[in-house]
């Protein structure tokens, strides 16, 4: 199975900061990567798919990049509602796999 | 409104069985792959199983293969997960999810149903 390693596992930042999360795949997955946001007690919501395609309705401060094995999710200017956990997921090959997540906390 | 509503969770003894259901509404159910994703308490997301649209081909995580069966009824817009030989490590919130179409990324999620495995 393809392993996804997210770093850091947790991150503290302030409103207005620019933050970047990293997801590394154990093998080349092209651009078959998605990013999700999950707030406490809620189901995940899709932010980005195909590595860099923003889902309709997702604020433009979110962006994704990368291909092959290295991917990033960037939030250009943190808003209070962005403090949550973030997960990457590969859909190149079954079994589908998720990264371990990055928890974004308020500094 | 596009919606997924799970049901069927509960408390079950180790070795027992449970059937989860997911009722879909607000979209053309027949043409989308559907999946189950679970989340153990305090842990990350784990994909469990997927079933394709019309053909109904299925995929499973190794951790549930041979114990869980996914199925769908396109006429009723429902997807099911039959779980047997349940283990303590199967305890989780089980989410039903719809793929975005063309990619196995999930753009619609239900609120989840909780499965507890304990004697």
CB A95 within 8 A of CB A1: yes
CA angle (A76 as vertex; A91, B106 as ends), nearest 5? 25
Where residue B85 falls among pLDDT bands split at 50, 70, 90?
A: very high
Q: B20-59 pLDDT, tens per residue? A: 999 999 999 999 999 999 999 999 999 999 999 877 899 9
Task: Kindly report the nearest CA distance between residue A80 and chain B, in angstroms.
Answer: 22
CA dihedral B26, B28, B31, B34 (to 10 degrees): 20
B45 with A87: Cβ contact below 8 A: yes
Six-digit token string for B52: 């394709």
Q: What residues 1-60 of chain A have any CB closer than 8 A to a CB of chain B?
A: 1, 32, 34, 36, 38, 43-46, 49-50, 55
What's residue A100's pLDDT?
A: 98
Residue B68 confidence (pLDDT) above 90 = yes
Strands, E assignment, chain A: 4-7, 10-13, 19-25, 33-38, 45-49, 53-54, 62-67, 70-75, 85-90, 97-98, 102-106
Beta bridge partners of B59: B50
A64 CB within 8 Å of a chain B CB: no
pLDDT tens digits, one per residue of A44-64: 999 999 999 999 999 999 999
Number of helices (H) and strands (E) in chain B: give both, helices first.
Answer: 0, 11
Q: What is the mean pLDDT of residues B60-86?
A: 97
Model pLDDT for residues A75-84, shown as the tens digit of each residue? 999 999 999 9
- Tell me what the mean pLDDT of segment B7-28 comes to: 98
Q: What is the pLDDT of residue B55?
A: 79
Residue A51: predicted pLDDT: 97
Å between B37 CA and nearest CA of chain A:
10
Output the six-digit token pair for A8: 């850091």
């Amino acid at each position: 199975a393809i392993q996804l390693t997210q770093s850091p596992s947790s991150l503290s930042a302030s409103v207005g900061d620019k933050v970047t999360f990293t997801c590394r795949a154990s093998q080349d997955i092209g651009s078959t990567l998605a990013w999700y946001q999950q707030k406490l007690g809620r189901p995940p919501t899709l932010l980005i798919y195909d590595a860099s395609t923003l889902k309709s309705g997702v604020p433009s401060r979110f962006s994704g990049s990368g291909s092959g094995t290295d991917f990033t999710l960037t939030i250009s200017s943190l808003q209070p509602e962005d403090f949550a956990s973030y997960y990457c997921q590969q859909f190149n090959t079954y079994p589908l796999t998720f990264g371990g997540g990055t928890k974004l906390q308020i500094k | 409104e596009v919606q997924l509503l799970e049901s069927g969770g509960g408390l079950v003894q180790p070795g027992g069985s449970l059937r989860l259901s997911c009722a879909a509404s607000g979209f053309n159910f027949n043409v989308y792959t559907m999946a189950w994703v679970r989340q153990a308490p305090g842990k990350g997301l784990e994909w469990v199983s997927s079933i394709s649209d019309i053909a109904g081909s299925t995929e499973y995580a190794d951790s549930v293969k041979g114990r869980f069966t996914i199925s769908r009824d396109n006429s009723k817009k429902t997807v099911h997960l039959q779980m047997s030989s349940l283990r303590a490590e199967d305890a989780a919130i089980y989410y039903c999810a719809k793929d975005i179409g063309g990619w196995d990324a999930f753009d619609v999620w239900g609120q989840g149903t909780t499965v507890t495995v304990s004697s």
